[in-house]
Structure 1
Amino acid sequence: MDGAVNDRGAGVHAYRTMDVPVAGGDLRVGVWDPVGDRTDDVLLVHGVTASHLAWPFVVERLAGVRAVAPDLRGRGRSDRLHGAAGMRAHADDLAAALDALGIERMLVVGHSMGAFVAVVFAHLHPDRVSRLVLVDGGLPLDAPAGLDPDALVSAILGPTAARLSMRFADTGEYLDFWREHPAFRDDWTPELERYLAYDLVDDGAGAFRPATSYRTTADDTIDMNTGSALPDALAGLRHPARFLTVPRGLQNETPGLYAPAHLARILPDAPGVSHTAVDAFNHYTIVMSAAGADVVAAVVREELAAARAASAA
């Protein structure tokens, strides 16, 4: 997709990638530069087994906005980074990406695990963040207590984690696997195919595998649910934050990651977070479908306007 152009209405973006030196290697970063005047910047942080190509639907609805989206370490073309992952490591990688682009401060949008990373990033690098948009992630999940690490990952991610150990003959077989996924049966698009094809890498033994390793996913899932980085960040949260939740989960099941009863328990402990329940979407389609991206992009535009107003004041 290098050199690709996204066009929606008046918004045109030229897409490029860059590699940013970080601890343990290079971080792949996607950048969508608006063709014409640039009004704002936004940092987009993807989910636990995703990549920066989860974001084109949202980006094409942000005319005039430069969008920056990394492949988090252990994912996409950042899959060969050495060293442990975890929320703090991801947060430091985001700071390095902004340094490489000469960006001091910007709105940060995180989806799924990326929302947890965004919260920790705002805590560890507060001067780099203006506001937060947290899409179906970022506040504590209703994870069962007392599980061993593998059982915890299975309880939260289920088949999403199991897929990481699978092997595929080629891209076509991988796309066929995903066509049967309940989250995408009604929302299959060329953009989704590009995202999925990008995820597939050579396993070195004549087959292909998802770029994200199970071990990296497990380490991050354990850290965001049982580590100290997230509780510390939420306790010290000082940035305005919008929190969007959807009714359906990773398998299009109900309830989603944030059941109403769980939300009722956790929202009183997050008084600085403004919550909106968004109907009709699942955990994936809220960012990787046209209708879901309409919702997310509208919120992003509102928060960009609020950030400009606060800066002017």
Structure 2
Amino acid sequence: MDRPVTHEYSELDVPVDGGALHVGVWDVDAGPAAPTVLLVHGVTASHLAWPFVVDRLPGVRLVAPDLRGRGRSNGIEGSAGMAAHAADLAALLDALGIERTIVVGHSMGGFVSVVFAHLYPERVTRLVLVDGGLPLDVPAGLSTDELVAGILGPTAARLSMRFDGPAAYLDFWRAHPAFAQAWTPELERYLAYDLVPDGEGAFRPATSYATTADDTVDMNTGTALPSALAGLRHPARLLTVPRGLQDEPPGLYAPEHLERMLREYPDVRHERIDGFNHYTIVMSPAGAEIVAGVVREELAASS
């Protein structure tokens, strides 16, 4: 059964340092009086990672950018990194006249959200971190390529691949283990949006490897995240799942490592959500229902 349409979707570009940030907005009839939630996607994703969650939040205005270097924001010049993304989010809220909001971050978006809340504390009420935001268990001394490959694996390798068109790209993703039981029309739209011309007659993923490398190094070896977590002042709720980017256990946060992180950052409230992988906790109907339920609880707490 189709879900009722509860949002009016639009897109806009917001000026930021180095170019324009492309943004999706799902508005509601209540207009400015509606509660607003800012959604921040993962390292190689786009704002179209969020429609499943959006559909389960009737009456809530949802705002989601393509982070710089991704989607239709892939023309922004300059380096990335957590502080650069945080500045872009502040510019986005300014452009839309949003003073304060709950921020929901998935994967790398969780790291961006923590840093954003630290650098712009007056703009954030509460944080929902979905399988990201606390430090990963990464060995010291890795090169940039080793770090990216160790964390992202085939996800990073895909960025250098070329495809004949959308059909070939969808066929590539159909073989992905993370979506074996979760293939949907919404997922196809998300994937098709990710494909852009490479300038030589073929197509490539919108996210560049260089941008991914900048962000991966910064969120794992830079100072922005440790400083933000040490100064955490907003209620933060972390959801983790037991399977990773390739649907493999133990996921991004092995239990022993996660326990250490939660002891180090005791103000972060944690919930383990069984039955999902890193993607399907957001990009599947059942996963999105759980995330949306948490967002509804946080909206109630913030009001």
Distance 1:73 1:259 in 2: 29
Are residue 262 (structure 1) and residue 265 (structure 2) matched?
Answer: no
Q: Select 1:29's aligned residue among 23, 30, 36.
A: 23
Aligned amino acid, residue 147 of structure 1: L
**Deviation of the 1:35 alpha carbon:** 3.2
| C-alpha separation in 2, matches of 1:198 and 1:182 | 20
TM-score, normalisation: structure 2: 0.98
CA distance in 2, matches of 1:200, 1:11: 27
User: Secondary structure at 2:7's aligned position in 1?
Assistant: strand
- Structure 1 CA distance for aligned equivalents of residues 247 and 75 of structure 2: 31
1:39 and 1:12 map into 2 onto residues whose CA distance is 12
Distance 1:15 1:271 in 2: 38
**1:271 & 1:167 partners in 2: Cα distance?**
44
Distance 2:172 2:152 in 1: 17
Contact 2:28-2:34 within 8 A present in 1 as well: no
- Report the Cα distance in structure 1 between the residues aligned to 2:70 and 2:278, rounded to whole angstroms: 19
Instruction: Spell out, residue by residue over 1:17-76, the C-alpha distance to the aligned partner (whole angstroms, 9 max, x if none).
Output: 000000000000100001356531000000000000000000000010000000000000
Query: Could you tell me which amino acid in structure 2 is paired with residue 12 of structure 1?
Result: T
The match for 2:205 is: 210
TM-score when normalising by structure 1: 0.95
Q: Distance in 2 between matches of 1:76 and 1:93?
A: 15
Alignment of 1:293-308 (within 5 A): 293-308=288-303
Match of 1:3 in 2: none
2:65 corresponds to which residue?
A: 70
Distance 1:27 1:286 in 2: 26
Choose which of 80, 83, 92 in structure 2 pairs with 1:88.
83
Could you tell me which of 266, 269, 272 is aligned with 1:277?
272
Q: Secondary structure at the match of 1:250?
A: coil
* 2:11 maps to which of 17, 32, 52: 17
Counterpart amino acid of residue 25 in structure 2: V
CA distance in 1, matches of 2:259, 2:266: 12
Secondary structure at 1:288 match in 2: coil
Secondary structure of the corresponding residue to residue 79 of structure 2: coil
Structure 1 runs, 4 residues or longer, greater than 2 Å off: 7-11, 35-39
Do the aligned residues in 2 keep the contact of 1:10 with 1:63 (CA within 8 Å)? no
Quote the offset at 1:271 in angstroms.
Answer: 1.4
Aligned residues: 302
SS for the counterpart of 2:177 is: coil
Q: Which amino acid aligns with 2:148?
A: V
Q: Which runs of 5+ in 1 are unaligned?
A: 1-6, 309-313
Asked if residue 114 in structure 1 is aligned to residue 109 in structure 2, the reply is yes
Deviations 1:89-142 (A, max 9, x none): 000000000000000000000000000000000000000000000000000001
Unaligned stretches of 5+ residues in structure 2: none
How far apart are the structure 1 equivalents of 2:223 and 2:253?
21
Q: Which residue of 2 aligns with 1:164?
A: 159
Q: How do 1:33-52 residues align onto structure 2 when only pairs under 5 Å count? A: 33-36=27-30, 39-52=34-47
Verify: 1:232 aligned to 2:227, yes or no: yes
The 3-state SS of whatever aligns with 2:6 is strand
